[in-house]
Amino acid sequence: MSLKNQEQEIRSKLNQIIDKLLHLGENVQSKELEKSNPLLAELNRRDSGIEIWDWPQGVGLYGLHKFLSFEENKDYRAFLENWYASHFAGALPLRNINTTAPLLTMVDFIDENPGYRKLAISWADWLIHDLPKTEEGGFQHVTSGSGDGRSLILNEQQLWVDTLFMAVLFLNRMGQKYDRQDWVDESIHQMLMHIKYLCDPHTGLFYHGWTFKERNHFGGIFWCRGDSWFTLVVPEFLEQCGETLAPSIRRYISDTFRAQVRALSALQAPDGLWHTILDDPESYEETSGTAAIAAGILHGIRTGILDNSFLPCAEKAIEGILNQIDADGTVLNVSAGTAIGMNAEHYKNIAIAPMAYGQSLTILALVEALWALKVK
The type of residue at 58 is: G
The H or E element that residue 14 is part of is: helix 3-22
Pairing state of beta strands 285-286 and 274-275? antiparallel
- Which member of 75, 108, 111, 162 is catalytic? 162
Nearest to 338 by CA among 49, 60, 44, 138: 44
How far apart are the C-alpha atoms of 264 and 324, rounded to whole Å? 20
Active-site residue flag, 47: no
The type of residue at 91 is: A
Q: Which residues contact 12 (CB under 8 A, 6 or more apart)?
A: none
The type of residue at 199 is: C
How far apart are the C-alpha atoms of 185 and 187, rounded to whole Å? 5
The answer to whether the beta carbons of residues 190 and 168 sit under 8 Å apart is yes
The answer to whether the beta carbons of residues 94 and 152 sit under 8 Å apart is yes
Locate all alpha helices (DSSP H) within the chain, ordered by sequence: 3-22, 28-33, 38-48, 55-70, 74-88, 102-106, 114-129, 163, 169-178, 181-198, 224-241, 247-267, 287-302, 311-322, 344-348, 356-375
Active site amino acids: 162
